Structures are given as C-alpha cells and as structure tokens.
Structure 1
C-alpha cells in the first residue's frame, strides 16, 4: 500500500489558535464550512481523522517532533523513517506550528488521496500563508 504524509507550516502561536485554524465550521443545516487551513491550502475535502496539529514553539520541541515522526508516527517506521528528510527540522524552524495529514491508497478505499498529487515546488518560506514544507511518500505491504 502506498502512503503519503504531508506537512504544512503555520504561524499559529497557541493551541487555541491552531485548533481554530484547523477546525471546520458548520452551517445551521449541518453542512461543513472549510476551515481556514483548508481554504489557505486549496484543499476542498480531507478526512480529519488522519490529521494532526502540533505546536512547536522552539528547537527542542521540533527535534522531539522529528523523533516522534521517525519512531512512532507510522505503522511501519522502518519504511517511513528513511523517507523523512534530514532537513525537516530546519524546514519547520520558521513556523511555530505544523499541520500533518496522512493519506493512503488502500485496496479498501483511499484516504486523503489528493495528498499524492500535491506539488512540492513553489512552497517557499513566506510566499504562502500555509506552505507545504514536506511531502513524504512510502510503501508498505498490504495486509
């Protein structure tokens, strides 16, 4: 099975601000209104069950987050960890928080499949309100 993990940098500086940025709204009829995150990235729909938000205000928390990604994030860390860019901590440094989305192409149905088609280029620091700072694709054996 093919997996993708996409990470965006945000300028949210508190857990409350980050949660509000990532949380969709709803109309009186119960229809979803895209979150500010989705509007900023151009994503029209995501499965939020596969989304994480992380406040990373300092170098120590960013280093701990990179270790979390390499050791505990994926169900198969041996296949995922080597794909994590060595420069990830440096890429995250300008942002006090990140939003991470996971997708896959399972034979039981894809999850967040739009992540596979995200372009990695054009995400220069300061050029977008929510730049894509990493896109990691890896494969596991389907069980």
Structure 2
C-alpha cells in the first residue's frame, strides 16, 4: 500500500488560532466551506481525521516534532523515517506551526488521495498563509 505524508508550515501564534485556521465552516444548509488552510493549500476536500496540527514556538519544539515524525508518526517507522528529509528541521524553522496530513491508497478505499498529486515545491516563506514544506511517499505491504 502506498502512503503519503505532507507537512505544511503556517504562522499561527496560538493553538486557538491554529485550530481556527484548519477548521472548515458550514453554510446554513450544512454544506462545508473550506478552511483557510484548505484554501491556501489548494485542497478541495480532506478527511480531517488524518490531520494533525502542531504549534512549534521554539527550536526545542521543532526538534521534538522532527523526532516524533521519525520515531512515532507512522505505523511502519522503518519504511517512513528514511523518507523524512534531513533538512526538515531547517525547513520548518520559519514557521510557528505545522499541519501534517496523511493519505493512502488502500485496496479498501483511498484516504486523502489528492496528496499524492501535490507538487513538492512550496511557496516562498511569508508569501502565502500556508506553504508545503515536505511530502513523503512510502510503501508498506498491505495486510
């Protein structure tokens, strides 16, 4: 099974601001309105159950986040960790928060399959409300 993990940087100053940034709105009829994150990232729809948000106000929290990704994030860290860019810590440094979104192409149905088609180059720091920092694709055996 193919998996994809995408990491975006944003400059939200508090957990409340970050939560509001990723929270979709709804019309009176119950139709979803994309969140500021989704609009900025160009994502038409995502399954938010496969999203994590992290406030990273200092270097220690950024280092802890990178270690979390490499050691604890994926169900198969042995296949995922080597795919995490060595420069990820430097790449997230300009941002006070990150959004991590997971997808896969399981035979039981895809999750956030739009992530596979994302261009890997992000926008310039500060030019957009959100910038794609890294996209990692890896494979595991389907059980």
* TM-score, length of structure 1 as denominator length: 0.97
SS of 1:110 mapped into structure 2:
strand
- Aligned partners of 2:75, 2:122: CA distance in 1, in Å? 30
The structure carrying a bigger strand percent of its residues is: 2
Which residue of the partner structure matches residue 83 of structure 1? 83
- Aligned partners of 1:104, 1:140: CA distance in 2, in Å? 10
The Cα of 1:29 is off from its aligned counterpart by 1.6
Ranges in structure 1 where 5+ consecutive residues have no aligned partner: none
- When residues 59 and 18 of structure 1 are mapped into structure 2, their CA distance, relative to the original with a 3 A threshold, is same
- When residues 122 and 96 of structure 1 are mapped into structure 2, their CA distance, relative to the original with a 3 A threshold, is closer
Ranges in structure 2 where 5+ consecutive residues have no aligned partner: none
SS of 2:81 mapped into structure 1:
helix
Q: Does 1:98 align with 2:98?
A: yes
The Cα of 1:87 is off from its aligned counterpart by 0.4
- Aligned partners of 2:14, 2:119: CA distance in 1, in Å? 28
Q: Which runs of 4+ in 1 moved over 2 A?
A: 121-129
Q: How large is the Cα RMSD of the aligned pairs?
A: 0.9
- Aligned partners of 1:141, 1:127: CA distance in 2, in Å? 39
The Cα of 1:142 is off from its aligned counterpart by 0.4
Q: Does 1:19 align with 2:19?
A: yes
